[in-house]
Chain A
């Protein structure tokens, strides 16, 4: 995916175009949109460090949330997108040697992303596919462990095992399409892939390296101010 998207992204960044007409997706437009997004981590878990059962892994479940964002049209074809969402709550479950134990905890995530997008077609086109590339800071917070995590790591209610996930920066690629419904209203659907790794830590001192690489599907209705 990376190799397919990067040329387009580079093209977007190097393009220099004059401002177009006063359409929903023309230079200078600011579109604020709202909708929903589902984040589906494509987890590739490392092994929990000792002491543990060999191949103790984790999986991070998908989460959905009300979302929105702001898109600023720098030119008719190049836009800057700042998606915004309420925090997502992901369940962390056992995998590998502890497959089947169920929920180990939950962690909230707030991905802060800034994307540069290149939109095909011209400002007046009804349908405009777009590609984007940018950076995401995955902010993980409010981790909450379960009695199961304590149980399998030697903790007790008096001294429970807790977990945390390190916030990290990763690259994001986007593929989507927008439809201009009216002069000011538009609808868009996009899929983003973020390349992000995190380190999970337990209060026992154990750690687990986990590749999250989430795929997000985002739908939004936008209004041009």
Chain B
């Protein structure tokens, strides 16, 4: 048996020193380099992705109100600005700021039927064609596309108005994508077929959208494309008020509730028809991620606390008036942190149809999850 204490000290001194050195320090750091280098983010769509075509964003006008497309761009160290500006009558290229790559315009539709026709960049397909006419895509381009929400709202409005205008507007809208024979048979077939033709229209709408994305984006070399499916807008305050109106029209009570539920199910069926077809069109396409905005939005409304949302039913912006449809109107330019409802930071909705900046953040997180899973972030 050898003497111990001195040998313990001798034998362990070096090892202990190594341990102490290694054990020091430990500040939290972050490696902010994404797995994929993205140098440019191109955006096409409607109000939810509009960076300021009209001089404001379709959310609360706070200093920190990045919309989700801008937040995704920020994940790659990029910023966005609106390619188009509204002149008061039409849309022109943004000359105040050049090099902008966000082509989305509030009110954008897959099928825009108003003034200017197909050439109007309110057609999302026209937005995509506008860029495609000037350039192509490379591996360092990320494309974010949404659309269909306004088309669905148009269809719902025309459908609900059918008893008043003998379904003229409904038939006209259906006629943009379906044949007169299809429409005639459906409208004459009764309530069930009149509702069901809406799903046929929405499927055709998804076909049109997918074809435009293929022709102007994928066929132009894009390899990183994010396509948002249609969120379940039946849970927006605006739609909820419409559904409440339907319940009231049926005298409220259980009859009203049944009519309300039936209408919501019909409209959800239309949106699902669109989303199912959109997913099918891009299934197996390695260049495209279809984001399930529909389900994510339902989850947020169903379990708001899980998502840090304090209010998923009331718009944060103040009501400005009443529209011709009898629903409240809002004004984004004057919806600021000082005019918005207290605690607006955790509200889901800014007006009755658009998310708050926090709602945008949740959508950005949703997209980021898919990007990371795909190895793009």
Contact = CB atoms under 8 A, between A and B. Distances in A.
Contact of B306 (A29, A51, A156): A51
Nearest to B305: A50
A105 B10 CA distance: 38
A26 interface: yes
A140 B16 CA distance: 18
Interface stretch (A1-9, A81-89, A175-183): A81-89
Contacts of B309: 51
Contacts of A151: 34, 75, 364-365, 368-369, 371-372, 377
Contact of B362 (A28, A51, A72, A149): A51
A35 interface: no
B71 A154 contact: yes
A144 B71 CA distance: 22
A32 B11 contact: yes
14 contacts: A51-B308, A52-B306, A53-B299, A102-B375, A141-B25, A145-B29, A146-B31, A147-B34, A148-B35, A150-B32, A151-B365, A158-B74, A160-B32, A162-B30
Contacts of B8: 30, 70, 72
B322 interface: no
A82 B12 contact: yes
Contacts of B12: 32, 70, 82
The 8 closest A-B pairs by CB, nearest first: A141-B26, A51-B308, A151-B368, A160-B30, A28-B1, A101-B372, A162-B28, A157-B32
Contact of A145 (B2, B30, B307): B30
Contact of B369 (A101, A161, A162): A101
A144 B31 contact: yes
Contacts of B75: 147, 150-151, 156-157
Contact of B2 (A52, A69, A225): A225
A148 B372 contact: yes
A153 interface: yes
B369 A145 contact: no
B19 A156 contact: no
Interface of B: 1-2, 4, 7-8, 10-12, 15-16, 18-19, 22-23, 25-35, 71, 74-75, 77, 299, 303, 305-309, 361-362, 364-365, 368-369, 371-373, 375, 377
Main secondary structure of the interface of B (DSSP, over half): helix
The listed residue with most B CB atoms (<10 A of its CB), out of A22, A29, A101, is A101
Contacts of A141: 23, 25-26
Given A30-B11, A32-B11, A152 B372 contact: yes
Contacts of A152: 365, 368-369, 372
A27 B16 CA distance: 23
B19 to A, nearest CB: 6
A4 B367 CA distance: 49
A201 to B, nearest CB: 9
The listed residue with most A CB atoms (<10 A of its CB), out of B15, B23, B364, is B15
A27 B29 contact: no
Interface residues of A, number: 57
Interface of A: 19, 22, 26-30, 32, 50-54, 68-70, 72, 82, 84, 86-87, 94, 98, 100-102, 105, 108, 110, 112, 139-158, 160-164, 203, 225
B348 to A, nearest CB: 12
Contacts of B32: 147, 150, 157, 160
A84 B7 contact: no
Nearest to A101: B372
A203 B28 contact: yes
Given A101-B369, A157-B32, A158-B74, A22 B22 contact: no
A160 B30 CA distance: 7
A225 B7 contact: yes
Contacts of B372: 94, 101-102, 148, 151-152
B303 A30 contact: no
A143 B30 CA distance: 8
Contacts of A142: 25-27, 29
B23 A110 contact: yes
A142 B31 CA distance: 12
A155 B25 CA distance: 24
The listed residue with most B CB atoms (<10 A of its CB), out of A69, A70, A98, A154, is A154
B290 to A, nearest CB: 16
A145 B28 contact: yes
A147 B31 contact: yes
B118 to A, nearest CB: 37
Contact of A22 (B1, B18, B30): B1
Given A145-B28, A157-B77, A162-B28, A100 B11 contact: no
A197 to B, nearest CB: 19
A51 B22 contact: no
The listed residue with most A CB atoms (<10 A of its CB), out of B7, B23, B26, is B26
A147 B33 contact: yes
A74 B308 CA distance: 57
B4 A72 contact: yes
Nearest to A156: B74
